[in-house]
Amino acid sequence: MITLVLGGTRSGKSEVAARLAAASGSPVTVVVTAAPCDDADFAARIAAHRGRRPPDWATIEEPHDVVGVLDRVDGTVLLDALGTWIANAPDFSVDSTRLCDALGGRSGDTIVVSDEVGLSVHAPTPAGRLFADALGLCNQTVASISDRVLLVVAGRTLELHSP
């Protein structure tokens, strides 16, 4: 089963995704796409995410080759998050089709976390607009193959249904 968990900054999407992974009953591997950097605030956010994970969960930090990791990991995977994966890519260019092929080829459950950028203001810079477009299109592609799509707002979860 593929579940896409969308939400804005501080919406609670990662916590919802972690609860879903814990409920799977299988060993959990967290695939983290954020790369540590010199930004103290971002480093603190990464540390907070690490601190919330159960000690028996495996963690793979991979800011680029997410598809390769998905192809070799068994059990439940919690992929957190598409936004940082795209932000790490040159020109925000990722292969969403290859990602979906890898997601669809897994035998275990996969919970994918992503930022919902479509509810924010129009980005004032060309780079901001390019990122929002790339992430929005990737979210749509992943949603099209997902069994469930959840939107998290203020810690509350809404299930989104196909049109």
Q: Which residues are catalytic?
A: 49
Strand partners, 159: 150
Sorted by sequence, the CB contacts under 8 Å of residue 147 that are 6+ apart come out as: 1, 2, 3
* Token pair listed for 63: 């800011």
Find out whether 116 and 9 touch, Cβ atoms under 8 Å: no
- Strands across the sheet containing 76-80: 58-61, 28-32, 76-80, 110-115, 2-7, 148-153, 156-160
